Amino acid sequence: MISRAALHGSRGAQAAVGARALSSGTEWFPSVHPIKFAGPDSKDPLSFKHYNASQVVMGKTMADWCRFSVCWWHSFRAAGADPFGSPTIARAWDDGTETIENATRRVDAAFEFFVKLGVPFYTFHDVDVTPLGRDLAEFNANFDRMQEVLAAKQAETGVQLLWGTANLFSHPRYMNGGMTSPDFGVFARAGAQVRKAMTVTHELGGSNYVFWGGREGFQTILNTRPRQELEQAAAFLRMVVKHKQDIGAEYQLLIEPKPREPMKHQYDYDAQTVIGFLHQHDLQDHFKVNVEPNHTTLAGHSYEHDIIMASQLGMLGSIDANTGDELLGWDTDQFPSNVRQATLTMDAVVAQGGLAPGGLNFDCKVRPMAGELTLDDLERIALEGPAAEAGTASGKQELYEMELSRFV
Spatial distance between the Cα atoms of 133 and 139, rounded to a whole number of angstroms: 5
Q: In this structure, what are the phi and psi dihedrals at residue 388, rounded to the nearest 5 degrees? A: -70, -40
Instruction: Give every CB contact of residue 318 below 8 A, 6+ residues apart in sequence.
Output: 162, 163, 208, 210, 252, 254, 288, 290, 291, 355, 358, 359, 361
Instruction: Give every CB contact of residue 266 below 8 A, 6+ residues apart in sequence.
Output: 213, 214, 216, 217, 257, 258, 259, 260
Distance of CA 16 to the CA centre of its chain: 22
> β-strand 121-125 against 60-61: which pairing, if any?
unpaired
Q: Which long-range contacts (CB under 8 A, 24 or more apart) does 243-248 make?
A: 243/195, 243/198, 243/199, 244/198, 244/209, 247/198, 247/199, 247/202, 248/202
For helices 271-280 and 305-312, the axis angle rounded to 10 degrees is 30
Q: Do the Cβ atoms of 142 and 131 come closer than 8 Å? A: yes
Residues 50, 108, 126, 128: which is the catalytic one? 128
Residues 50, 108, 125, 377: which is the catalytic one? 125
Spatial distance between the Cα atoms of 288 and 125, rounded to a whole number of angstroms: 19
Spatial distance between the Cα atoms of 402 and 306, rounded to a whole number of angstroms: 24
Q: Do the Cβ atoms of 118 and 17 come closer than 8 Å? A: yes
DSSP string, 88-105: ----TT--S--SHHHHHH
Spatial distance between the Cα atoms of 313 and 159, rounded to a whole number of angstroms: 31
Q: Do the Cβ atoms of 267 and 222 come closer than 8 Å? A: no
Instruction: Give every CB contact of residue 249 below 8 A, 6+ residues apart in sequence.
Output: 198, 201, 202, 209
50 is catalytic: no
108 is catalytic: no
Q: Do the Cβ atoms of 350 and 394 come closer than 8 Å? A: yes
Would you name the residues annotated as active-site residues? Answer: 125, 128
